[in-house]
Amino acid sequence: MLLQVPDVLTPEQVAYARQVLETAPWADGRITAGHQSALAKRNRQLPQDCVQALELGALVTKALERNLLFLSAALPQRIYPPLFNRYESGQDFGDHVDNAIRRLPDGSGAVRTDLSATLFLAEPDEYDGGELTVDDTYGVHQVKLPAGSMVLYPASSLHRVEPVTRGARVACFFWIQSLVRDDARRTLLFDMDLSIQRLAETAGQTDPQIVALTGCYHNLLRMWAEP
């Protein structure tokens, strides 16, 4: 499943994040890349432990906790602390697949990367190129969203960031370990949840059929979840 999640951050939050990032200590983006990815990665990135990354990471995490579309689609169990990158003219990130396991920077454990997320912090007209390109069984998808909006996609997907030819592409990125590891099952639950919500708008939450469908949703989640 590839899903666009609009308005994760408000315009005010985006403006604040951009202000903070203007004076941030950008470093070589290969600091968090695996061996293979490092060969294809050409960008700048904030060190995970710098003040700006920690502050903005907390801002993004709190916004995710309030976003019902994200919660329904991702069914998050653990979220890797958000990272921040910047692509300027001539920079890109070639074809790669994200590492399956990410060790948490505080040493408290690891995150299985079921889903990848990119939260855009620059408006599309601020830069040329820089599209996130995801290859999956349904074809090639190119994503370039308004600032504050996010895309979710399976971390197992082959993907890349196209070369930036003008301006700067600024974004936040992170990974999610879901309660439901399998993408097809997670997609089925998401579609079911959305359908229940839409039916409830007209029939009401207490309608017997809505209650029955909600029960089916939770029984499937109970069957498939890995808490």
Tell me how long the chain is. Answer: 227
For the chain, what is the radius of gyration of the CA atoms? 18
Q: How far apart are CA 88 and CA 169, in angstroms?
A: 7
Q: Which amino acid is at 156?
A: S
What pLDDT shows up at residue 148?
98
Q: How far apart are CA 126 and CA 135, in angstroms?
A: 25
Q: What is the pLDDT of residues 77-119, one digit of tens each?
A: 999 999 999 999 999 999 999 999 999 998 889 999 999 999 9
3-class secondary structure, 45: strand
Q: What is the pLDDT of residues 140-163, one digit of tens each?
A: 999 999 999 999 999 999 999 999
Q: Which amino acid is at 64?
A: L
Q: How far apart are CA 104 and CA 124, in angstroms?
A: 31
Whether 120 contacts 147, CB under 8 Å:
yes
Chain centroid to CA 216: 28
Mean pLDDT of 50-54: 96
Whether 184 contacts 150, CB under 8 Å:
no
Residue 34 pLDDT > 70: no
Q: Which domains does the chain have, with CATH numbers?
A: 3-178 (2.60.120.620), 183-224 (4.10.860)
Of the candidates 102, 134, 124, the one whose C-alpha atom is nearest the C-alpha of residue 170 is: 124
